[in-house]
Structure formats: structure tokens, C-alpha cells
């Protein structure tokens, strides 16, 4: 009997799409959808074959204590604030994949996994869209001999589908964060240092700094002197309003639980979906020492949650050795550790995601 893939947060907007992408590629792989509500889990599971629903709470000391099925992997699509789910998977020697952590929580997870007895892969793929952006950056970086600068810009469409976790970064917009800039680690403010960006659709707007894990991981992986992640909204007034609120300190004044609903309402009014677009520009030197620039773009017509789901499947596939890949050995993995880039591009294409990489000499 095949082991089940347990998706925690499985009946949420992203979790359910992860299950759908898995089912698209793996007809016979058992899937379990888990969350606090048994009714919602079973209702979601009923929409797919060979899928079941169970109740599970990540805040329990051992969230997997009541899971009777043999597990092939645990995939976290909801926040694991105390690392309880990760601990439970590691203690059982079950591969663990997480796509939900912001930079601060990623730090604690990497440290914890480093001191525990890891006997299976632990995949912390929390960079933008379950690591898809970082993986495509890895492809762009491979075109250069020396990497000097990496700039990533993300277009967040307000009409896109989104779960409540997708705007968690809104709670961090009043908090400064660390980036690698001009060869040193510096603290910068969110929604600062705008850069005019033209996205694949032709939409041009200013994108502003925000806290995103690959700003640190890509700097460490590539040795680039400067690595930046920026975000823009497809509504110019929303972008300028957010920048104003953060710059003036008003956003900090309305931080905290009392104003959570108000803060989230500004950015979390999900629609039926809209294209998600990413632009990555890598500057450096080619093998001969001449200046060279690589521009990579990612477009998913089905939106950010779909791209996240595809990214989660990419990590699951390489971790377990699906689709003819070699399974990962025990250890801690980040998106930059993804090796089968041909399979990544194939999976993206099969799911309607468009990727373009262009090289130019300034």
C-alpha cells in the first residue's frame, strides 16, 4: 500500500490547490487533507479520488499523534508557529516540506532542524511562491560567471485568489529587516527604495522593498553583493497609500491585534483570480569578465495560489523522487538546493506557467 501525502491546511485556498496539482500528476498517490475542522477536511477530500480528510491542529504538542496512516510526506500549507509539526515529522523520520515561513521563522526552523536528528529530508521552501522565484533565479545565475546583483519584483494583483496567510506580510510592514546591500548586511525599512518595473503584461509601476526569505538565502547561495525583493500592487493608489502609511509610521501605530482586521482588509479582498507576475534581473560578469545581465520572468495566468501549489509539488516531486527523479537524502533543503531544473521547467509548463530568460550585455 502506498504511503499518504498529508497536506496540513489541506482544505484552505492553497492547500486544496496543492492536492489538485498532485492529483493531476499522480493518479494513484493517496492524499490526506488535514485541518482543525474535520467536516471541512472531509468535504474538500470528497472532491477528489483517493483522498481523505482528517482533523489536525498544528498547535498540539504532537500534531501527528492521532494520524494512523503511514505517511510518505508531510506538507505544511499553514503556519507552524511553534515548529510542532516539523518536530513531529522529524521524530518519525517522515519527509517534511514547509512553504509558509517568513524570514524570521525560517531562521528558527533551520536552527532547529540543524540540532535535531534528521533522518529524512526537511524542505523549507518558503521563498516567494513556494520557492519558484528562487529556483528560476538559480537558473538565471547559472548564465553568469560572477553574480553581483539580484533584483526580484513581484506584481500582486488585488483581484487574485488569496488565503488569509498570503497577507501575513502586512503585519510585518512596520518592521525593518536585513538585506545584503553593496557587500554588507544592512537593515532597511519596508516599502522603501522604489524601483520602476515593467512586468511581462506590460504593466509598469514602482515596486517597493518587503521582507522575503530569498533576499538572505540567495545572497548566501550566490555571493551577490546586493539582493533585493520588491512588491507592487496593480492598483497605483494602493501602492502609494501603503508606502505613505509605512513611511510616516502610521502603519506601525495600527499594528497589533486590535487593528488586524483593518490592516488585512486593505490587501485581502480576494477575487476569482488574476495573473501573477514576477521579474528577476541578475547583473554580473560572464566567463570572460564582461558585464552581462539576465532577465527572467514568470507568469502564471491562474494566479499566485496556483503558482504556490505548483511550487509545492515541485518540492514534493524532487523530495520523494516522483516523475523519475532521484529521491533526496536526509538533510535540510532550501529552494536553492533544487537540482533537477529540467523537471522544474517541465512541471511549470505542464501547469500553464510561462518562464522566459533573456541575456543581454549592457
Q: Which pLDDT value is given to residue 271? A: 56
> Is the Cα torsion angle 326, 358, 143, 183 positive or negative in sign?
negative
Question: What SS3 class is residue 281?
Answer: strand
Are 117 and 39 part of one and the same domain? yes
**First-to-final CA distance of the chain:** 57
Q: From 37, 54, 115, select the one nearest 83 (Cα to Cα).
A: 115
Q: How is the beta sheet containing 31-35 ordered, strand by strand?
A: 51-55, 31-35, 4-8, 71-76, 96-98, 121-124, 331-333
**Is 109 found in the same domain as 175?**
no
Are 17 and 43 contained in the same domain?
A: yes
Alpha-carbon span 265 to 269, nearest angstrom: 6
H/E stretch holding 121: strand 121-124
Is residue 96 domain-shared with residue 174, that is, in the same domain?
no
pTM above 0.75, yes or no: yes
pLDDT of 245 reads 79
Whether 337 is covered by a domain: the verdict is no
What are the beta bridge partners of residue 71?
A: 4
> From first to last of its 362 residues, what are the pLDDT tens digits of the chain?
689 999 999 999 999 999 999 999 999 999 999 999 999 999 999 999 999 999 999 999 999 999 999 999 999 999 999 999 999 999 999 999 999 998 999 999 999 999 999 999 999 999 999 999 999 999 999 999 999 999 999 998 877 666 555 556 566 677 889 999 999 999 999 989 999 999 999 999 999 999 999 999 999 999 999 999 999 988 787 778 878 878 887 777 666 666 666 665 665 555 566 789 999 999 999 989 999 999 999 999 999 999 999 999 999 999 999 989 999 999 999 999 999 999 999 999 999 999 999 998 86
Instruction: Give all strands (DSSP E) within 136-275, no chain letters.
Output: 146-156, 177-181, 184-188, 195-198, 204-209, 226-233
For residue 241, what pLDDT is reported? 81
Residues 191 and 254 occupy one common structural domain: yes
Is 60 within the bounds of a domain?
yes
Distance CA 361, CA 295 (A): 11
Of 68, 95, 124, which closes a domain?
Answer: 124
Amino acid at each position: 500500500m502506498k504511503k499518504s501525502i498529508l497536506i496540513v491546511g489541506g482544505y484552505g485556498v492553497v492547500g486544496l490547490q496543492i492536492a489538485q496539482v498532485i492529483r493531476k500528476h499522480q493518479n494513484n498517490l493517496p492524499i490526506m487533507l488535514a485541518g482543525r475542522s474535520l467536516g471541512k477536511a472531509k468535504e474538500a477530500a470528497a472532491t477528489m479520488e483517493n483522498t481523505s480528510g482528517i482533523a489536525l491542529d498544528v498547535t498540539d504538542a504532537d500534531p501527528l499523534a492521532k494520524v494512523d496512516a503511514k505517511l510518505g510526506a508531510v506538507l505544511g500549507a499553514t503556519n507552524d508557529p511553534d515548529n510542532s509539526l516539523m518536530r513531529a515529522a522529524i521524530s518519525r523520520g517522515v519527509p517534511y516540506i514547509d512553504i509558509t515561513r517568513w524570514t524570521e521563522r525560517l531562521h528558527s526552523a533551520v536552527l532547529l532542524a540543524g540540532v535535531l536528528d534528521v533522518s529524512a529530508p526537511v524542505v523549507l521552501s518558503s521563498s516567494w511562491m513556494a520557492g519558484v522565484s528562487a529556483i528560476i533565479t538559480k537558473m538565471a545565475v547559472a548564465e553568469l560567471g560572477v553574480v553581483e546583483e539580484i533584483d526580484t519584483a513581484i506584481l500582486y494583483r488585488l483581484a487574485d485568489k488569496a488565503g488569509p496567510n498570503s497577507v501575513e506580510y502586512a503585519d510585518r510592514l512596520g518592521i525593518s529587516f536585513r538585506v545584503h546591500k553593496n557587500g554588507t548586511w544592512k537593515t532597511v525599512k519596508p516599502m522603501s527604495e522604489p524601483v520602476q518595473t515593467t512586468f511581462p503584461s506590460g504593466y509598469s509601476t514602482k515596486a517597493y522593498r518587503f521582507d522575503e526569505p530569498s533576499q538572505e538565502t540567495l545572497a548566501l547561495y550566490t555571493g551577490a553583493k546586493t539582493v533585493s525583493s520588491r512588491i507592487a500592487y496593480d492598483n497605483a493608489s494602493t501602492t502609494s497609500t501603503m508606502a505613505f502609511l509605512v513611511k510616516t509610521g502610521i502603519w506601525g501605530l495600527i499594528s497589533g491585534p486590535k487593528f488586524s482586521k483593518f490592516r488585512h482588509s486593505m490587501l485581502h479582498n480576494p477575487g476569482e483570480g488574476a495573473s501573477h507576475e514576477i521579474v528577476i534581473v541578475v547583473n554580473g560578469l560572464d566567463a570572460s569578465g564582461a558585464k552581462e545581465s539576465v532577465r527572467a520572468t514568470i507568469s502564471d495566468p491562474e494566479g499566485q495560489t496556483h503558482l504556490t501549489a505548483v511550487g509545492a509539488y515541485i518540492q514534493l516531486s524532487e523530495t520523494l523522487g516522483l516523475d523519475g527523479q532521484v529521491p533526496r537524502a536526509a538533510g535540510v533543503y532550501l529552494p536553492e538546493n533544487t537540482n533537477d531544473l529540467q523537471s522544474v521547467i517541465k512541471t511549470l509548463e505542464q501547469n500553464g506557467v510561462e518562464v522566459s530568460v533573456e541575456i543581454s550585455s549592457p
